[in-house]
Amino acid sequence: MSDINLSNLSYISREDLSKTFLESDAAPSLPKNLAIIDVRDSDHIGGHIRGSTWVPSSELDYRTPELVRNLKDKDVVVFHCALSQQRGPSAALRYLREKRRLDEGSKTESKGEEDTGEEKKAQKVLVLEGGFNKWQEKYGPDKRLTEAWQKDIWEYGQ
């Protein structure tokens, strides 16, 4: 049993996440040091956060090691599902556990190699409060922040 559990998770509000897009003077875009992972399944229809990566929760078993490797240079990784009550937090936990497993494996392999003395900055893994449902309530129509948003889907419920 892993010692990484729900109490280890941190959350980010939709307002704080949106600020990361809008801080740039250029056209709003996802900062290079940030990744957003959308783990909704068929409920992914109707829009998504600009620049997010869709990894359906049904694919997490085999895609998590790939995610850890591909996102190793990101300072912040944000997970979300529709409500961020189950799939989003579960995905974040799975990611953290796999990251630890792979990090420990690489430490074992690198023993005996020269230490550069540089401390690697710890990656922050967060969950979006309220998930995409809460995000789209405020930012769905905002094309700077949301892509492929379909008002009729959200107006009448998914």
Strand order across the beta sheet in which 34-38 lies: 10-12, 124-128, 76-80, 34-38, 53-54
Helices (H), 8-149: 14-22, 60-70, 87-110, 131-139
Q: Are 129 and 92 in contact (CB under 8 A)?
A: no
- pLDDT at residue 110 tops 70: no
For residue 155, what is the enclosing H or E element? helix 151-155
* Options 3.40.250.10, 3.90.1580.10, 3.20.20.70, 1.20.1250.20; CATH of 6-105+122-148: 3.40.250.10
Q: Mean of the pLDDT values across residues 59-79?
A: 96
pTM for the model: 0.87
User: 1: pLDDT confidence band, cut at 50, 70 and 90?
Assistant: low
Output the CA–CA distances (angstroms, integers) from residue 6 to 52, 86, 89, 158, in the order listed.
23, 10, 7, 27
Tell me the per-residue pLDDT of 20-65, one tens digit each, with 9 for 90 and over.
888 765 667 788 899 999 999 988 889 999 999 999 999 999 999 9
pLDDT at 114 over 60: no
Domain boundaries, the chain: 6-105+122-148
The set of catalytic residues is 81
Rounded to an integer, the average pLDDT of 111-117 is: 52
